[in-house]
Amino acid sequence: MKKHSFMTIVSALAVMLMFSSVSHAKVYLTITGETFKKITIGVPYFKGEKTAGSSLGMSDLLNKDLDFSGFFITAPASLIDRELLDEGVEKGEVKFASWRSIGIDIVCKGRLSVVNGELSLEAFVYDTLDGSMVLAKRYKAKQNEWRRVTHRLADDIIFAVTGEKGIMSSRVLFTAGRRNLKEIYLSDFDGQNVARLTNYRSITLSPSLSPNGKYLAYTSYREGRPNLYVTDFDKKNEIFVERSEGMKIGTSWLGNSTLVYSHTSGRTSTIYAFDVGSRSKKVLVQRDGILTSPTVSPDGSRLVFVSDMFGSPQIFSKALPSGEPRRLTYHGKYNSAPAFSPKGDLIAFVANLSGGFEICTMNADGSNQRVLTNDGTVNDSPQFSACGRYIIYTSLKGGVNRLNVMLFNGENKRTLRFTDFAEEQPRFAP
């Protein structure tokens, strides 16, 4: 797999609006529960795509993105006859009745041109029932950024049709490597533009980016002990290092400048909130035994964490700043790795059930616990996407940890692949 330099992933992508979405009032797919009827969408080859360059496969990639989203059924190319493939892209040129007759609810038409390495795509999305415009936009970028343009279009279609944000333009932060050699990587969601962020030839764990993408926190053994590092992501300089004795691990962010992490030294564990601006920290919880995997609700009102205060690892919740810990999990002898949804209404976690470690969810108060995986293997490190519709996690497959993603209800599970190494501890990145 081709890996790009760090600077490649921050190259500018110019996306310019041609029309605003003309269908704000009409919702094509109402997402109110865990199940819904998928929309059938047709994405024929874009006009000019075949002549724009052999490396461009925008319509094929768009079909893959929309299928991956779990909201759509993408029509196979064999279903679309030559008459529909050859028609134009403007409303008056589209034979909506013909599209409707083959079961297509929505059709996406595109007009693509590439001049002197500059790409321009005009995209039109129509409702085949009445010919109304769902979306119309123009995208401009460098030709080699055609994949990012396609991902952006996919997310725009998802939002126009469902009102939900997509994840196709997202990036993924994760660790990868062998047992005693793990580094931090950042990649586009589709596995392209993989960048290695650390090169310490050591064990590096628990990476997390602040929501604004400004700060990167992680634990590394590069100095011989598990120290906590906070770096300025853009400037790549260290702004804080916790070198005290003990294990510092389990990093998460409250807002853009407060890092929450756990520190175990001897028989005592402490969960701290560290303010990047003032370089000060305060104690959130301190107890004998193990405290780990701290995360704070999006509104900052509650802390969830893992503790063995009753013998086995279980998940607890604590009202901030001064509430008493309340146990949330009682089923199973091992529950860990809690992560809040963006709305704070759900918590994803790992539970040891019937010999396997499964990804589960529960309400923020511990009620309505549900098992999302049931494969009897080791699943770990669940994290919600920014829109809350997806969960990314690690699953042991063939003796090697791989990254997986699924809808929040456990449907549409997919395996991701970014490197040739075992991949762990994924997070959606800004």
DSSP 156: H
Other C-beta atoms closer than 10 Å to the C-beta of 122 total 20
Q: Which residue has the tokens 């461009």?
A: 56
Residue 287 has phi, psi (to 5 degrees) of: -155, 160
Look at residues 420, 421, 422, 418 and name the one whose alpha carbon lies nearest to residue 186: 418
pTM of the model: 0.85
State how far the Cα of 260 lies from the Cα of 192, in Å rounded to an integer: 30
Check residue 7 and give its pLDDT: 28
Q: What's the CA dihedral at 173, 178, 179, 185 to 10 degrees?
A: -10
Q: Which CATH architecture has domain 171-429?
A: 6 Propeller (2.120)
Alpha-carbon separation of residue 28 from 41, 124, 217 (angstroms): 12, 16, 40
From the number of C-beta atoms within 10 Å of its C-beta (0-12, 13-18, 19+), residue 83 rates as exposed
The per-residue DSSP string of 234-256 comes to TT--EEEEE-SSSEEEEEEEETT
180: its two tokens = 């005693």
pLDDT at 178: 87
**Where in the chain is CATH 2.120.10.30?**
171-429
pLDDT mean values, one per 10 residues, the chain (430 residues): 33 35 46 66 91 74 92 89 90 95 96 93 96 96 93 96 90 93 94 93 95 95 95 90 92 94 94 94 94 95 95 95 93 93 96 91 96 94 94 94 93 91 94
Return the beta strands (E) in 20-116 as ranges: 39-42, 72-74, 106-115
Helix (H, G, I), strand (E, B) or coil at 160: helix
Furthest C-alpha separation in the chain: 74
Per-residue confidence (pLDDT) for residue 23, from 0 to 100: 41
Predicted local distance difference test score (pLDDT) of residue 8: 29
> What is the reported pLDDT for 77?
82
How would CATH label the architecture of 6-162? 3-Layer(aba) Sandwich (3.40)
Q: Six-digit token pair at 15?
A: 């996306």
CA separation for the pair 229, 222 (Å, rounded)? 11
Helix (H) or strand (E) holding 206: strand 204-209
Q: Range(s) for CATH 3.40.50.10070 in the chain?
A: 6-162
Sign of CA dihedral 329, 386, 255, 239: positive
